[in-house]
């Protein structure tokens, strides 16, 4: 036999040495004294403890369980330590893959929830802004409606005032026309009706029967205009003493006042005064002039009961 070894024999020796090294490495425990199989069991248990393991990482969990079961069977059947280590490695790897899948899914779920929360926050903000805008629009509409109502009320008030003014003006025209029909005239003291001396006998203060029609027309006018008052002034000519003329003018004014009162005109609406000969309208040196001075003047207030001179 030759002294040199056959090459095949050398290769087999090298392979046996490598296997021995691998078995030694596989049989090595962790620094904490935990074997590869124990580490695989712990990894699989950690994966099983995850709430979402079956739902999210079902395949990795099943692969880890299968590899762990195979490693345990190999150890129980006293198979080579290298096979036990290899199967334990596969179980641990599959468990790590499962945890990674769960972590990734959890991260995606968290991101999805965060995005949904962000969208909800944005939606709520938009809804609040929209609600505020609607509220502001409603308030603006209410203000506009209130302004419109105020404008309408102001317009109605203006129209009512205009109508009242037109009505008052119409009443004033009608009143003046009615007074004009009774021969009353506009003076600086207001509308005035002059009753000549024909109402009384000479030096008398009793109304003649012919005065009834004129006094009745005057009473009817006052009845139709209950806010108007009258001031009755008696005047005389210069014949006779001042005292006589003053007394006569007062009695004649009072006679007309009593005639109106007898026809239903309240005394509060009537003023009777005597002016004597103090306010002539013509000269007393002629018969015609003295006749003009012997008169009764009836001065009418306005529709509010006010006289021009107060």
- State the Cα–Cα distance between residues 24 and 210, nearest whole angstrom: 162
Compute how many other C-beta atoms are within 10 angstroms of the C-beta atom of residue 13. 11
Q: What is the pLDDT of residue 197?
A: 64
**Residue 93, strand partner residues:** none
pLDDT tens, N- to C-terminus, the chain (310 residues):
444 443 333 333 333 333 333 333 344 444 444 799 999 999 999 999 999 888 888 999 999 999 999 999 999 999 999 999 999 999 999 999 999 999 999 899 999 999 999 999 999 999 999 999 999 999 999 999 998 999 999 899 889 888 887 877 787 777 777 777 777 899 998 899 988 766 777 788 888 887 888 889 999 999 999 999 999 999 999 988 999 999 999 999 999 999 999 999 999 999 999 999 999 999 999 988 988 888 999 999 998 889 987 5
Compute how many other C-beta atoms are within 10 angstroms of the C-beta atom of residue 146. 10
Q: What is the pLDDT of residue 201?
A: 75
Please write down the long-range contacts of 254-260, taking CB distance under 8 Å and 24 or more positions apart. Answer: 254/205, 255/200, 255/205, 255/206, 255/207, 256/195, 256/199, 256/207, 256/215, 256/232, 256/296, 256/298, 257/232, 259/207, 259/211, 259/215, 259/219, 260/215, 260/218, 260/219, 260/222, 260/230
- State the Cα–Cα distance between residues 302 and 228, nearest whole angstrom: 6
Question: Could you give the dihedral angle defined by the CA atoms of residues 123, 129, 135 and 141, in that order, rounded to the nearest 10 degrees?
Answer: -120
Q: What is the pLDDT of residue 4?
A: 41
Which domains occur in the chain, in start order? 16-119 (no CATH), 184-300 (3.30.1330.60)
Q: What is the pLDDT of residue 21?
A: 33
Q: What is the pLDDT of residue 198?
A: 63
Q: pTM for the complete prediction?
A: 0.51
Q: What is the pLDDT of residue 131?
A: 93
- State the Cα–Cα distance between residues 40 and 249, nearest whole angstrom: 144
């Amino acid at each position: 036999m030759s002294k040199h070894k056959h090459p095949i024999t050398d290769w087999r020796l090298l392979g046996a040495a490598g296997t021995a090294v691998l078995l030694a490495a596989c049989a090595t425990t962790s620094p904490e004294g935990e074997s590869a199989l124990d580490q695989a069991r712990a990894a699989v248990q950690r994966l099983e403890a995850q709430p979402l393991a079956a739902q999210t990482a079902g395949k990795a969990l099943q692969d880890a369980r299968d590899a762990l079961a195979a490693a345990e069977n190999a150890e129980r059947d006293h198979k080579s330590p290298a096979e036990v280590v290899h199967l334990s490695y596969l179980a641990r790897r599959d468990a790590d893959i499962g945890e990674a899948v769960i972590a990734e899914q959890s991260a995606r779920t968290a991101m999805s929830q965060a995005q949904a929360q962000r969208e909800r926050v944005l939606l709520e903000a938009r809804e609040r802004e929209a609600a505020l805008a609607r509220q502001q629009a409603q308030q603006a509409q209410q203000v506009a409606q209130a302004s419109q109502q105020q404008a309408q009320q102001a317009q109605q008030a203006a129209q009512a005032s205009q109508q009242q003014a037109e009505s008052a003006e119409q009443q004033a025209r009608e009143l003046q026309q009615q007074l004009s029909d009774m021969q009353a005239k506009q003076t600086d003291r207001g509308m005035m009706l002059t009753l000549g001396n024909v109402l009384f006998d000479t030096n008398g203060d009793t109304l003649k029967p012919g005065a009834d029609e004129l006094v009745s027309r005057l009473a009817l006018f006052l009845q139709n205009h209950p806010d108007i008052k009258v001031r009755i002034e008696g005047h005389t000519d210069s014949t006779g003493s001042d005292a006589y003329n003053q007394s006569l003018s007062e009695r004649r004014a009072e006679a007309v006042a009593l005639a109106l009162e007898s026809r239903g005109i309240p005394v509060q609406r009537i003023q009777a005064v005597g002016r004597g000969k103090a306010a002539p309208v013509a000269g007393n040196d002629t018969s015609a002039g003295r006749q003009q001075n012997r008169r009764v003047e009836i001065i009418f207030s306005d529709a509010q009961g006010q006289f021009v001179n107060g």
